[in-house]
Structure formats: structure tokens, C-alpha cells
Amino acid sequence: MAENLLKAEGIYKSFVGVQALKNVTFEIKPGEIHCLAGENGSGKSTLIKIISGVYAPDSGSMEFAGKKYEKITPIEAIKSGIQVIYQDFSVFPNLTVMENLAFNSELADRRKFVNWKRMRKIATEAIAKIDFKVDLDALVGSLTVAEKQMIAISRALMFNTKLIIMDEPTTALTKKEVGNLFNIILKLKERGIAILFVSHKLNEVFEISDFFTILRSGELVASGNTADLDAKKFSYFMTGREFTAKRFEAKNISSEPILETKNIGIEGSFQDVSFDLHKGEIIGITGLLDSGRTELALSLFGILPIDTGSFKINGKQVKITNPQTAVAHKIGYLPEDRLSEGLFLNQSIADNIIISEIDRLTVFAGVLDTKKRTDEIARWVKELSIATPNPENACQTLSGGNQQRIVLAKWLALNLDILVLNGPTVGVDIGSKHDIHEILQNLANEGLALIIISDDLPEVLENCSRILVMKAGRVVSDLDAAKADEQMILSYMM
Amino acid sequence: MQTSWKTTIQKISRRNEPYVFLVLLALCILIEIRSGQFFSSNNLVDIASALIVPGLFAIGAFLVIISGGIDVSFPALASLSVYATTKFLLDINYQGGVWLAFVIALSIGALLGAFNGLFIGYFKLPALIVTLGSSSVFKGIMQGALNSKQLTTIPVGMRAFGTSSLFIAKNPVSGLTARMPVASIAFVIVLILVYLMMRYTMFGRGIYGIGGSEVSAHRAGFGVRKTKFTLYVMVGMIASLAGVIRVCMMQQAHPTNMLGMELNIIAGVVLGGTAITGGRGTLLGCILGTLLIVIVENSLILIGVPTSWKSVFIGSLIIIGTGASAFQVMRMNRVKSIKIRSKEAF
């Protein structure tokens, strides 16, 4: 049995009265790929920050590479071989690849002057370690997310690194890029570097990790061999709830379609898309990242107006040229990046809920009726079970799942006919994901027509009645969800 | 070899400097054709000497903008430090050389810059708000505590420095002459030092880094607060240097005549391709942009544009110039369109 590389024992940490970690014990061996999972607010990031020295624990002890620490400072952590790769990769988009790679070691050596030759040498050596090929003089801002990540990894490897902590490294990657990343992680493992991999994506945890640790509300709920874990146990440990996946069955589909699209297309994005959408139905649209699915979603809401083809709503020909006309036709849109497109994060939860129906809540001359406002807010907080002590709190105080519910509430307040959802549960933890699915299915049964655009195949299969698969700008198949499976969809997508 | 040529050209075409240079050249040629006076030796020397003060201010503004900040207080800062210096030297009836004026003004400038740097670097307040505030404070001190009035005479050392020249250019046709002031050496020295600092010191690269991503800079190990503080001190000193030169060249200290320069200076820097959001831009572009503004301000009269139209012209130039760089950014960020396959391909 190999010695532990890191052992953190009995870690406690609280922030102004909130207990973030309670008696957490964590260990990792050299060359081990260890997955740390947990919902938002479970204490994952706090634990990472304690290991990397950003926070000092209230009590508990740490041992790294045979040396005991009461608390470790960030510099000690780096010097003893701990590197963290944050979700934003900590790169400088305005500088070249070379500088991004060389800065850390130049600063660690306390250099005052720049020697461009030496920087180039450092950078060349750094990327050679993981066989990463890139133009050293390119600006990092012009690279893809995956390339930025490779830069962060190469940079992390320059310091006799023994442990690399990756915070949700796969969030913005395509399937192929995730594959490449995993290959590199496996190579690092061969070299005896331990990887702590933070994720709440089930399939990734199973694919890559040897061991797992799951936190819930600051407590360690399970840890052990990934081989002994299955999907059901995993979601149970994460949420403390048992889920039975409920496949959606459309109960009351309207006889007439509410929306018909005929040969719609946008030059350079997608072409010849025709489908009918009925009330009470959920259509799934799936495809790879550049299949045109996002552009199709945006065109339905008028953000990218179509060049060719036509829309019919309730049998009448209509033009959707901007979001205002879409809303006038009772179409709502839940954006992919809800943080930047769907919410006013600094504003209160309450105002975010009522923003889209604010015109209806006035007494006269645009003066707001406070009674109506309060009632409306209370109604939606209750209906969508948004977890907040006070709806006047800023929106950014909520978890991802709750934020997504507010975006939903905002639209539902308008009594829509059609709701287009782009990646409704991206970045949302398992519990909230389940709740959001339940809400969507109920909405459909109450007569709303929904379109879900997503590359999360289990999500599409579970919640849709029909699935359109897109590839290179065209719909390549129109499947009955009840008869489809993941393998089948994948074969159309690829 | 051919592909590398192509990529080099592509890279250059994405930068702002060549465009600014072309616009500058076109303007010069236009003025030359209309007046026949532009490329005369005295006019060129006049422009070079008119560039000194705005050029120094622009270098300071450039540094701050690269770091992701903005400084609108430099004219007030320069006015206060040079006014206080001149007044003090007159009061003690100083008869020595100009060096003492530089030493005092630069010290005051460093102190006032430190005031900005303290609030922006250490207390993390937004640079625009801080410098708007400090600009008022500096003006207030000058008008209240120093009871500022125009000083029509300046100490003899400063006067001598202001009138001394490197060489005099004489137009053989018109007989007009122009002096190249000694102060131009100060400008060239600052320019070279700042260039070397930005390219060959970790401090300079840190300024670019902070402008690109402050969080990343902190995580990489740059002393973000200290870098910003030092930067504002440095900018205070550069602005005060410009202030002293301005007073020497004008042969009088006027408390308010530098105020209001900040907008044209910042516009020139941005016109030269420095991103107002920080992190991107070159010193060359900064100087080209400033030169463009200086030429418009000084030479439009040569082609018969009345001075009242000058600000309209400068304003349009700024809108077109910044619009062009915004357009370039948009072009670079445009969603790559995908190739739609024909039906037969499936």
C-alpha cells in the first residue's frame, strides 16, 4: 500500500456562522485520480481552497508529501507541489501564449527583468511536457477553451507538481475535447501525479476516476472506490434524495399545431428546418456544438431572424424579427447562459421575477402597484419553490438551480404559449435538475408547448415526446422519444 | 516562406497602428496639397515641439489605460504641482537652474500620484471615480489654499530652459523660423524609458497582465496592489514633468489653461489602438494617435478650416477611429459560420 500524498483530517471551517465544512477527512495517493463531487454549496470549493492554502481551517490537520501542516500558505502549497486549475484557467487573454506560460515561474524566481529568449525556452519546455502544439506568439484570447485549458495544465506542470486540482474542467468542452483532456490526465497519472477532479457530471466521474469523495452540506457522506458506485447511489449521496426518473408522456396534445415552421433557414447556420409543435408537447432538439441547434433556438425567439422559410402560429403566417415580436406571439426563451442573458444578477430576486410582466402591475401612468407586485412575487416563489429567506435579496445569492427557476418564473408570469429552453440544466446540480424537469413536464401537461435544446441526451430522452437531431445545419432525423435510445441519437449526431 | 508572409500581413492588418499611420499620412498630404506649407521645415519643427506636452501626458494616460484604469486627473495634478513649484521659487526669489523646479514639481507629482494610487490600488476604488474626485481636490487646493492667479513672470532658470533650443529651422521661402526646444530631449528620454520598462521589466509586463485579467495576475503572483500604486506615482511624475515643460515653454504659469486637456489626450491614446478596457495597445500607436490630434489641432488652419470647426473635426475623428477598432473587435469575435452540407451528403 502506497503512502498517502495528501491527508487532511478532521477539517472544520465556518464563515460568519455558516458551517462550510464539518469534520471532513480526505486522502489521496500519488498517481491517483480522485473525484470530488457534491452539489453547489456542499463545501467542495472550500475544501479545495483549504488544501491550496487560500483559506485556513478552523481546526484539523493536513499532511502533504510527508510533512505536517497546521495550515498551509498559498506559497507553501505551490512550493510543495500543489497546483489548482480554476474554471477560468487564470490566463491573460491579451498576452501571448509564451508569456502566459512563463510568467508564473519568472515571478516565482523573483525576476525583475524580462528575457524574451528565456521566456520562449520555458514556454517551449512547458508545452512539450504534454505534447501540446500551439503557436507561442498567438494571443491567448484567440484560442479555444480547450487550448486555454492545455495552457493552464502545462503551466501547472512546471513546478515539480505532485497534485493538480481541477475545478470542473469539462464544463465548456466538446465531447472530443473532453476525450483529449482525459488522455492527458491518464498520462499525468502514469507519471505519479495525483489529480483531484471536481465534477458533478456522473458519466465523467465513472469514466476517469479511481476513487471518489462526495460532500453534502459540508459533511463527508461517502468515499471509496468508484467501481463500487452506481448512478443511483451517486445521486442519492449527492442530494440525500431518491429519484425515480419519470419519462415524460404527453397527456393532452392539441389537435392543431400552435407553431409550424416551414423550411426555415439562416445563411451559414442552418437550412430547411420544418416541424410542427403542438400544445402539451415537448420537442427536443439535439446535435453537436456546431450543428446549428443554438442558432435555431435563437431564430425561434427572433434574436437571429430567419432569411428563408416562414413561421405559422395558430395557423396564421407571422414574422418573428426580434424578441419583442416573439413575446407578442407568446413565445418565451430561456437562454443558454442564464447569467449573462437571462438575469439581472445584482438586482433583487423579486424584481427579476416581475420584470417581464411589469407593465401589467401598474396602477396608472406607469406607477407600480406594490400590493400586486408583492402578491405576484409571493405566488411564484411558492409555485416554483425558490429557496430564499427573502425575495428582496440579490439574485446572485442563489444557487444555479434556483437562478434557473427565476428565469423560468419570469417567463411563466407572462402566460406564454410556447417556451424555448436552451440547455435548461447546464451547470445545475442533480437535485435542482430533477426539480426543473418535473416543473417542465407539469407545464406541458397544463398546455404549454415546449422546445428543449440540449446535448444532454438522458435529459432529452426523459423529458421530450419527440426528438429532432441536427447535424451540420440540417435536421437529420425526427424521432419518437419513446422508441429512441442514446446510441441511436448519437449515431445520427456524429 | 510564403505562408509566413501571409500571416505576418494578416497579423499587421489586425492592428491599429498601420491604419492610424495611413490616416495621418493622408491628412499630412492633404494639408500639403492645399497649403504647400505642411512639409516645410519650420512647420514640422513646430509640430514636433507642440507634441512634447501632449505626448508626455499621453504616455501617462497610456500606462493607466493599459492597466485597465483611467485617469482624468492628470491636467489638474500637473497644474497644481507646477503652480506650487513656480510660486514657491518666485517667493524665495530663486535664481538658480531649472533642475530645482523639476525636482520639486516631480516630488509633488509623486505625492499627488500616490494619493490616486492609494485609493485605486490599495482601497480598490474605481479609477474613474477616484480621479474625478482627486481632480476636484487638486483644483480646489490650487484655487483655495494657493489662491492661484496667473503668474506672468517665472523664475529665471525656468525662463532660460523654456527659450533654449536644440536647433532652429528656417523656411527658405517664407523666412519663418521655428525652434526645437531642449525639452524635446526630456520627451524622448521618457519615451525610451517607458518603452524599455513596458517591454523588458516584469513590472511593465505586470501592467499588461493586470489590464488583461486582475484575478489571473493576482494568482500568477504579481503584486497587483503595489504595481498599481507605483504606476500612479509614476504617472503623477510624468504629468508634473509635462507641466513644468509647458510652463517653461509658455513663459508664464496659468493655473487653468491645462485643464480640459484630458479628453483629447485620452482620445488620442484610444485612437492609437489602446483598448479602453485595458491590456492591449502599444506605445507607438499611442504616440501616433496623439500626433494625429496635435496635427489636427495645429494645422487645420493651414487648409482654411476655421478654428471653430476644429472640435467638430476632432470629434468626428475620434468617433470614426474608435468605431473602426470596435468594428475590428467585432469582426474577430464574429461567430464562425458553419458549412451547411447539401442534402445529398447525408
The CATH number given to whatever domain includes residue A270 is 3.40.50.300
* Average pLDDT over chain A, rounded to an integer: 85
Question: Kind and range of the H or E element at A264?
Answer: strand A257-266
Is the minimum CB–CB distance between B215 and chain A shorter than 8 Å?
Answer: yes
| Residue range of the domain that includes A194 | 6-239
The pLDDT, as a whole number, for residue B37 is 80
- Name the nearest CA neighbour of A105 among A46, A49, A50, A157: A157
Interchain CB distance below 8 Å, B220 and A104: yes
Mutate to test the interface with B, among A95, A105, A117, A263 (most CBs of B within 10 A): A95
Angle at B82 between CA B77 and CA B83, to 5 degrees: 100
**Could you give the CA distance from residue A206 to residue A478 in angstroms, rounded to a whole number?**
31
- Name the nearest CA neighbour of A404 among A365, A432, A431, A438: A432
Interchain CB distance below 8 Å, A473 and B208: no
Same-domain pairing of A96 and A142 = yes
Interchain CB distance below 8 Å, B211 and A94: yes
Of A88, A104, A472, the CB nearest to B339: A472
Interchain CB distance below 8 Å, B202 and A99: no
Q: Taking the CB of residue A54, how many other CB atoms lie within 10 A of it?
A: 16
Q: Is residue A143 part of a domain?
A: yes
B1 pLDDT band, cuts 50/70/90, is very low
Of B201, B209, B219, the CB nearest to A112: B201
- Name the nearest CA neighbour of A335 among A413, A440, A424: A424
In contact, A403 and A343? CB cutoff 8 Å = yes
The pLDDT, as a whole number, for residue A398 is 72
**Strand-pair partners of A9:** A61
B-chain residues near A103 (CB < 8 A): 205, 209, 220-222
A467 pLDDT band, cuts 50/70/90, is very high
SS3 call for A313: strand
- Does residue A384 or residue B276 have the better pLDDT? B276
- Name the nearest CA neighbour of A145 among A109, A177, A179: A177
Q: Is residue B8 part of a domain?
A: no
**Could you give the CA distance from residue A405 to residue A381 in angstroms, rounded to a whole number?**
9
Same-domain pairing of A199 and A60 = yes
Same-domain pairing of A192 and A313 = no
**Could you give the CA distance from residue A205 to residue A224 in angstroms, rounded to a whole number?**
12
In contact, A468 and A481? CB cutoff 8 Å = no
The pLDDT, as a whole number, for residue B249 is 93
Is the minimum CB–CB distance between A471 and chain B shorter than 8 Å?
Answer: yes
Q: Is the pLDDT of residue B4 over 60?
A: yes
- Does residue A12 or residue B311 have the better pLDDT? A12
Per-residue pLDDT, averaged over B146-171, amounts to 88
The interface residues of chain B toward chain A in range 293-332, judged by CB-CB distance below 8 A, are 332
Of A91, A92, A113, the CB nearest to B200: A113
| Full 3-state SS string of B262-326 | HHHHHHHHHHCCCCCCCCCCCHHHHHHHHHHHHHHHHHHHHHCCCHHHHHHHHHHHHHHHHHHHH
Which of A239, A271, A290 is at the close of a domain?
A: A239
Which range among A169-173, A216-220, B90-94, B182-186 shows the weakest confidence by mean pLDDT? A169-173
User: Percent of chain A at pLDDT above 90?
Assistant: 20
Of B278, B280, B337, the CB nearest to A269: B337
**Could you give the CA distance from residue A470 to residue A274 in angstroms, rounded to a whole number?**
12
User: Percent of chain B at pLDDT above 70?
Assistant: 90
Which range among A242-246, A251-255, A442-446, B264-268 shows the weakest confidence by mean pLDDT? A242-246
- Name the nearest CA neighbour of B259 among B128, B99, B175, B138: B138
- Does residue B325 or residue A211 have the better pLDDT? A211
Per-residue pLDDT, averaged over A226-251, amounts to 80
Same-domain pairing of A219 and A265 = no
SS3 call for B67: coil
* Average pLDDT over chain B, rounded to an integer: 87
B-chain residues near A90 (CB < 8 A): 213, 215-216, 219-220
Residue by residue, DSSP assigns A350-403 as HHHHHGGGGGGGBSSTT-B-HHHHHHHHHHHHHHTT---S-TTSBGGGS-HHHH
Question: pLDDT of A257-305, one tens digit each?
Answer: 899 999 999 888 888 999 999 998 999 999 887 788 888 988 999 888 8
Q: Is the pLDDT of residue A70 over 70?
A: yes
Interchain CB distance below 8 Å, B212 and A290: no
Tell me how close the Cα of A116 comes to any Cα of chain B, in angstroms. Answer: 8
Q: Is the pLDDT of residue A79 over 80?
A: yes
CATH code of the domain in which B303 resides: 1.10.3470
Interchain CB distance below 8 Å, A114 and B200: yes
**Could you give the CA distance from residue A230 to residue B316 in angstroms, rounded to a whole number?**
66
Same-domain pairing of A234 and A306 = no
Exposed, middle or buried: residue B309 (CB in 10 Å: 0-12, 13-18, 19+)? exposed
Interchain CB distance below 8 Å, B199 and A114: yes
The pLDDT, as a whole number, for residue B161 is 92
B-chain residues near A271 (CB < 8 A): 340
The pLDDT, as a whole number, for residue A338 is 61
Same-domain pairing of A314 and A223 = no
Q: Is residue A246 part of a domain?
A: no
The pLDDT, as a whole number, for residue B137 is 95
A340 pLDDT band, cuts 50/70/90, is low
Q: Is the pLDDT of residue A336 over 80?
A: no
Q: Is residue B9 part of a domain?
A: no
In contact, B15 and B273? CB cutoff 8 Å = yes
Q: Is the pLDDT of residue A483 over 80?
A: yes
Q: Is residue B157 part of a domain?
A: yes
What amino acid occupies position B265? I
User: Percent of chain A at pLDDT above 70?
Assistant: 97
Interchain CB distance below 8 Å, A269 and B216: no
Question: pLDDT of A114-123, one tens digit each?
Answer: 999 999 999 9
B-chain residues near A267 (CB < 8 A): 337
Over the range B109-128, which residues count as b (16 or more CB within 10 Å of their CB) and which as e? Answer: bbebbbbbbbbbbeeeeebe
- Which cell numbers hold the place of B318? 475620434
Same-domain pairing of A449 and A380 = yes
Q: Is residue B142 part of a domain?
A: yes
Q: Is residue B7 part of a domain?
A: no
Interchain CB distance below 8 Å, A103 and B205: yes
Of A90, A99, A290, the CB nearest to B205: A99
Describe the strand order of the beta sheet including A331-334 as a list of residue ranges.
A331-334, A418-422, A449-453, A282-287, A466-471, A474-480
Question: pLDDT of A38-58, one tens digit each?
Answer: 877 788 888 998 998 888 899
**Strand-pair partners of A69:** A62
Same-domain pairing of A221 and A296 = no
The pLDDT, as a whole number, for residue B334 is 53
Same-domain pairing of A209 and A262 = no
What amino acid occupies position B47? I
Interchain CB distance below 8 Å, B338 and A269: yes
The pLDDT, as a whole number, for residue A235 is 81
Domain tally, chain B: 1
Q: How far is CA A316 from CA A3, A296, A319, B244, in A?
A: 72, 20, 10, 75
Same-domain pairing of A230 and A304 = no
Which of A190, A211, A239 is at the close of a domain?
A: A239
Which range among A241-250, A287-296, B102-111, B163-172 shows the weakest confidence by mean pLDDT? A241-250
- Name the nearest CA neighbour of A212 among A202, A201, A225, A199: A225
SS3 call for A329: coil
The pLDDT, as a whole number, for residue B296 is 86
Interchain CB distance below 8 Å, B338 and A114: no
B-chain residues near A272 (CB < 8 A): 343
The pLDDT, as a whole number, for residue B3 is 53
Interchain CB distance below 8 Å, B202 and A272: no
Question: pLDDT of B27-85, one tens digit each?
Answer: 889 888 888 888 888 889 999 999 999 999 999 999 999 999 999 999 999 999 999 99
- Which cell numbers hold the place of B138? 487638486
**How many C-alpha atoms does B284 have within 13 Å on its Cβ side?**
8
Q: Is the pLDDT of residue A168 over 70?
A: yes
The interface residues of chain A toward chain B in range 271-300, judged by CB-CB distance below 8 A, are 271-272, 290-292
A-chain residues near B336 (CB < 8 A): 290
**Strand-pair partners of B133:** none
Residue by residue, DSSP assigns B29-56 as HHHHHHHS-TTSHHHHHHHHHHHHHHHH
Tell me how close the Cα of A268 comes to any Cα of chain B, in angstroms. Answer: 5
Q: Is residue A315 part of a domain?
A: yes
B210 pLDDT band, cuts 50/70/90, is very high
- Which cell numbers hold the place of A258? 400552435
Is the minimum CB–CB distance between B188 and chain A shorter than 8 Å?
Answer: no
Same-domain pairing of A234 and A263 = no
Q: Is residue A421 part of a domain?
A: yes
Interchain CB distance below 8 Å, B213 and A90: yes
Interchain CB distance below 8 Å, B338 and A292: yes
Is the minimum CB–CB distance between B185 and chain A shorter than 8 Å?
Answer: no
B-chain residues near A476 (CB < 8 A): 346
A-chain residues near B339 (CB < 8 A): 472-473
| Residue range of the domain that includes B37 | 15-330
Same-domain pairing of A119 and A31 = yes
The interface residues of chain A toward chain B in range 80-99, judged by CB-CB distance below 8 A, are 86, 88, 90-95, 99
ipTM associated with this complex: 0.83
Q: Is residue B156 part of a domain?
A: yes
Over the range B156-181, which residues count as b (16 or more CB within 10 Å of their CB) and which as e? Answer: ebbbebbeebeeebeeeeeeeebbbb
Question: pLDDT of A184-198, one tens digit each?
Answer: 999 999 999 999 988
Question: pLDDT of B71-97, one tens digit each?
Answer: 999 999 999 999 999 999 999 999 988
Q: Is residue B341 part of a domain?
A: no
**Could you give the CA distance from residue A185 to residue B110 in angstroms, rounded to a whole number?**
51
Q: Is residue B281 part of a domain?
A: yes
Question: pLDDT of A205-223, one tens digit each?
Answer: 888 899 999 988 888 988 8
Smallest CA–CA distance from A141 into chain B, residue = B212
The pLDDT, as a whole number, for residue A438 is 84
SS3 call for B334: coil
Interchain CB distance below 8 Å, B340 and A471: no
Within A76-207, strands assigned E span: 82-85, 163-167, 194-198
Give φ, ψ of A308 to 5 degrees.
-130, 160
Is the minimum CB–CB distance between B16 and chain A shorter than 8 Å?
Answer: no
Interchain CB distance below 8 Å, A106 and B202: yes
A163 pLDDT band, cuts 50/70/90, is very high
The pLDDT, as a whole number, for residue B341 is 59
Strands A211-216 and A219-225 come out as: antiparallel
Q: Is residue A283 part of a domain?
A: yes
The pLDDT, as a whole number, for residue B251 is 92
Domain tally, chain A: 2
Smallest CA–CA distance from A101 into chain B, residue = B220
Over the range B275-298, which residues count as b (16 or more CB within 10 Å of their CB) and which as e? Answer: beebbbbbbbbbbbbbbbbbbbbe
